[in-house]
Amino acid sequence: MKMQLSEIANAIGCDLSMNESTIVSSVVFDSRKAVADSLFVPLVGERDGHDYVANAVANGAVAALWQKDHANRPENIPVLVVDDTLLALQKLAKYYLQKVNPTVVGITGSNGKTTTKDMVAAVLSKRFNVHKTQANFNNEIGVPITILEMKPTTEILVLEMGMDRAGQLHHLSEIVCPDVCVITMIGEAHIEFFGTRDKIADAKMEITDFLKEDGKFIFNGDEPLLQARAQKLNQLQATFGFNSTDTIYATNFNSYMHHASFTINDSKVKFTIPMIGKHNVSNALAAILVGRTFGVPDVEIAQALANFVPTANRMQWEKGDLGEAIMSDVYNSNPTAAKAVLTSFSQVDVDAFGRRIAVLGDMLELGAASHQLHASLAEVLTPQLIDELYLYGPEMKYLFEALSGKYESSALHYYEKDHMDRMINDLREDIKPHDIVMLKGSHGMHLEKVLERLL
């Protein structure tokens, strides 16, 4: 972006008393990331960003927003005074989005939205100038920043849109007014705040609240909760999944150590993705439908999917200190995702002298159902599929108890949250070069520290 301060002031509806011709080329909310010609947006949270305006200026910021209920307004730089700095950031993003006017693809879901976003961006980049959400900038702060980071030449904007409460996706949808909406699936993520999967489905459907009238809704057709709700929409629709009732469905699915391959019902093209698991094939099916919506041929879609680069810590293979293969999926976890990854991991071929070892950390934000949902992972765990388990965190105790009758005590290990170092040491003594190891847990359990010690 590149705008004069006077244009920004008009866009967010506030007065500017000095330096109206100052040029702003980026917007930041972290003073450490301020650079020359940036606008600093001080947000009020656990820390108050207004306390860091001087730091932002020292790093190159040329102007700042300022919430009018704060005293000690800076006088050494242009300041745009607003009622609420977050709302002003969102308003500016909406203005810039309308100015650049790209086609918008919004993606949400309990699992798979980041991977699907990466796949969709790779597919569309075959034909268009595409800007996509970086990392997990998918909330009420991240979505506006993603918009403001796009180049004026952007033709398609691919936005990951997350939520942890009702109304959040409604608000984000109002900001971006998507042309295409994608819902990957409905799981138990954030069920602590919603209570039921029905309410989660209602919250996910909010992404369609401001879907353009001539837009398109693409969703997982194997999810009855989405099927029922989609009937209320008038926009074009297409479904993906593994049933013959879907618009496109996977056939001849095969999963290997580092990739999966499949075909679909209405194409002669064979598709390959550099990730394992049926759930990632589902994400690829969504990307195929989006690609087709924009006229990308199946052959080019297949090329893009075969070479796309997933965001870090999503089923990422690493080589351990002893030569063992380690599959790291430690960004987040919930029961649906954990079962899918465990199932995929159990299908990976292992050396005749090796074992499959899974390290599982607590799945957070599951509320009153947490004990039961952790124990439910036992449904996909047997010694014949996964040889040994290392369970970490207070909630994993319930899975440990559920598995006590299935596994020998020598193959089932449980650790309290303050015993990570002991678990890592036990793992290092246990792992052999021919083993394969899986790490899966919510980000708050910090299993990335286990990965660091094993590498």
Do 219 and 357 belong together in one domain?
no
Instruction: State the average pLDDT over residues 237-256.
Output: 95
Specify the amino acid at residue 134: Q
Within-domain flag for 224: yes
Among 307, 337, 372, residue at a domain's last position: 307
Tell me: pLDDT of 232 over 80.
yes
Do 202 and 241 belong together in one domain?
yes
Instruction: State the average pLDDT over residues 44-67.
Output: 95
pLDDT digits (tens, 9 = 90+) for 75-117: 889 999 999 999 999 999 999 999 999 999 999 998 889 999 9
What pTM value is reported for the model?
A: 0.87
Q: In CATH, what number is assigned to the domain containing residue 325?
A: 3.90.190.20
Do 8 and 70 belong together in one domain?
yes
Enumerate the H helices of 294-378 as residue ranges.
Answer: 298-307, 335-346, 370-375
Among 67, 89, 111, residue at a domain's last position: 89
Query: Which amino acids are annotated as binding site for ATP, given as ranges?
Result: 109-115
Tell me: pLDDT of 28 over 80.
yes
Do 124 and 242 belong together in one domain?
yes
Do 343 and 218 belong together in one domain?
no
**pLDDT value for 189:** 65
Query: Which amino acids are annotated as binding site, given as ranges?
Result: 109-115
Among 264, 283, 307, residue at a domain's last position: 307
Tell me: pLDDT of 321 over 70.
yes
Tell me: pLDDT of 352 over 90.
no
Q: How confident is the model at residue 136 (pLDDT cuts 50, 70, 90)?
A: confident
- Phi/psi region, residue 75 (left: phi>0; alpha: psi -120 to 50; beta: rest), is alpha
Q: How far apart are CA 390 and CA 364, in angstroms?
A: 17
**Burial (Cβ within 10 Å: 0-12, 13-18, ≥19) of residue 267:** middle
What is the span of the domain harbouring residue 433?
316-454
**pLDDT value for 44:** 94
**pLDDT value for 192:** 64
**pLDDT value for 145:** 98
Do 286 and 181 belong together in one domain?
yes
Tell me: pLDDT of 127 over 90.
yes
Greater pLDDT, 34 or 317: 34
Tell me: pLDDT of 21 over 80.
yes
Q: Where are the beta strands (DSSP E) in 166-241?
A: 180-183, 216-220, 236-241
Do 77 and 176 belong together in one domain?
no
Do 145 and 253 belong together in one domain?
yes
Average model confidence (pLDDT) for the chain? 93
Do 387 and 425 belong together in one domain?
yes
Do 219 and 293 belong together in one domain?
yes
Tell me how far CA of residue 327 lies from CA of 61, 262, 358, 419, 451, in angstroms: 41, 22, 9, 22, 9
Within-domain flag for 94: no
Do 183 and 121 belong together in one domain?
yes
Say if residues 102 and 151 touch (Cβ distance below 8 Å). Answer: no
Enumerate the H helices of 107-153 as residue ranges.
Answer: 113-124, 142-149
Report how many domains make up the chain.
Answer: 3
pLDDT digits (tens, 9 = 90+) for 301-314: 999 999 998 876 66
**pLDDT value for 85:** 97
Q: In CATH, what number is assigned to the domain containing residue 262?
A: 3.40.1190.10
